[in-house]
Amino acid sequence: MEKMTAVQMQQAMLGKIEQQQEVASNPFSNQAVTGTMVRGITQDNHTVSPVSDNSLAFSNTLRSVLDTVDRYQSHASEKITAVELGKSDDLLGATVASQKAQLSFNALMQVRNKMVSNFQDIIKMPI
């Protein structure tokens, strides 16, 4: 499994947001989304759930990002505690881990703010 840097993770999150924003601004512009929505309405004369693979993929991606940020926070906390207790002399490693955790958390907060803003825009859309 490839390790992602904080910058790559932030770019991936922002890319997903841009995709979601594009779909939200014009939901019928994407044929895959339209096909998914039609299948969600009727399939073999039975009503089925409108949940698509895209929403599950987005949910899994978001969960993965949250887990990654949590791992960075835990790792930084462990390194800082080891330095404070004198078990480690790696002050630079603890500082880098702390900065990496802080950067990933700030990126996550930017993504959250953008998602909330987009959700509010969707709520305000006329029907």
Distance CA 71, CA 76 (A): 8
Domain ranges of the chain: 13-124
Does residue 63 contact residue 11 with C-beta atoms inside 8 Å?
no
pLDDT in tens, 66-110: 999 999 999 999 999 999 999 999 999 999 999 999 999 999 999
Among the listed ranges 23-27, 28-32, 91-95, 119-123, which one has the minimum average pLDDT value?
A: 28-32
Instruction: Indicate whether 123 pLDDT > 50.
Output: yes
> What is 58-127 written as a DSSP string?
HHHHHHHHHHHHHHHHHHHHHHHHHHHTTS---HHHHHHHHHHHHHHHHHHHHHHHHHHHHHHHHHHS--
pLDDT at 11 over 90: no
